[in-house]
């Protein structure tokens, strides 16, 4: 397993947290949002998932990975 922390803009409340964490979970990854620092920390299987897939999953929810 690998872990990456991404800076994400636009997350402001629990709804955002649930959207991002839920989308990552549906994609088979484990994400944890930190609203205070506007970051998402994701644990993923590097044999199955890529950073690009993580970014796309977050951006599909309407947030910007910066």
Q: Which residues bind Cu ion (CB under 5 A)?
A: 12-13, 15-16
Q: Which of 49, 50, 51, 61 is nearest to 18 (CA)?
A: 61
Residue closer to Cu ion (CB basis): 19 or 44: 19
User: Cβ of residue 34: shortest distance to Cu ion, in angstroms?
Assistant: 14
User: Cβ of residue 4: shortest distance to Cu ion, in angstroms?
Assistant: 22
Q: Which of 52, 58, 60, 12 is nearest to 31 (CA)?
A: 58
Residue closer to Cu ion (CB basis): 13 or 36: 13
User: Cβ of residue 43: shortest distance to Cu ion, in angstroms?
Assistant: 23
How many helices (H) and strands (E) in the chain? 2, 4
């Amino acid at each position: 397993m690998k872990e990456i922390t991404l800076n994400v803009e636009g997350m402001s409340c629990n709804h955002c947290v649930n959207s991002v964490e839920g989308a990552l979970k549906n994609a088979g990854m484990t994400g944890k949002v930190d609203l205070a620092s506007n970051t998402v920390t994701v644990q993923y299987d590097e044999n199955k998932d890529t950073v690009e897939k993580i970014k796309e999953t977050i951006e599909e929810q309407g947030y910007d990975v910066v």
